[in-house]
């Protein structure tokens, strides 16, 4: 392969290699602490029963709230804590990480393939050398 074509295809492969490399970098450099449920969308105890159970002194929190055994003391005095006054924020990082895995693997495979292709082109291994006669013994 002529040096000009080798340089052209090497540069083209580098440019195409930047696409999955930048996507991979952008995905891996994203903050991991942004996956909490927003404060304004905090979930109630009944909505999160399948994901979390909270106990206080060995008793479920929902049972303690129903029996008015939890009280809040403030400037005005003491008032029983109700189930509506409790909101839970969940960290969804585990679900997001599991959903991102196939995409990250595809980006990594594309980067690996691009690097191999770049090395093959840059070293001239794709050059056609023609057929050779077998060496007689």
Q: Which of 34, 35, 46 is nearest to 87 (CA)?
A: 46
CA gap 17, 20 in Å, rounded: 6
Do the strands 59-60 and 55-56 form a parallel or antiparallel pair, or are they unpaired?
antiparallel
Confidence at 105, pLDDT banded by 50, 70, 90: very high
pLDDT band at residue 131 using 50, 70 and 90 as cut-offs: low
Which long-range contacts does 98-104 make (Cβ < 8 Å, 24+ apart)?
Answer: 100/27, 103/27, 104/24, 104/27, 104/28
Q: Residue 15: name the closest of 118, 133, 86, 97 by CA.
A: 118
The fraction of the chain above a pLDDT of 90, given in percent, is: 11
Q: Is the pLDDT of residue 127 over 70?
A: no
Mean pLDDT of 101-130: 84
Cβ contacts of 120 within 8 Å, gap of 6 or more: 126
């Amino acid at each position: 392969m002529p040096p000009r074509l080798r340089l052209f295809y090497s540069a083209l492969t580098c440019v195409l290699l930047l696409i999955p490399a930048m996507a991979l970098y952008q995905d891996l450099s994203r903050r991991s602490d942004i996956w909490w449920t927003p404060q304004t969308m905090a979930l109630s105890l009944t909505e999160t029963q399948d994901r979390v159970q909270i106990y206080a002194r060995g008793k479920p929190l929902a049972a303690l709230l129903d029996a008015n055994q939890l009280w809040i003391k403030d400037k005005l005095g003491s008032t029983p804590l109700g189930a509506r006054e409790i909101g839970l924020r969940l960290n969804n990082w585990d679900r997001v990480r599991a959903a991102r895995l196939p995409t990250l693997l595809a980006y990594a495979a594309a980067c690996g393939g691009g690097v191999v292709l770049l090395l093959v082109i840059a070293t001239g291994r794709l050059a056609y050398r023609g057929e050779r006669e077998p060496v007689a013994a």
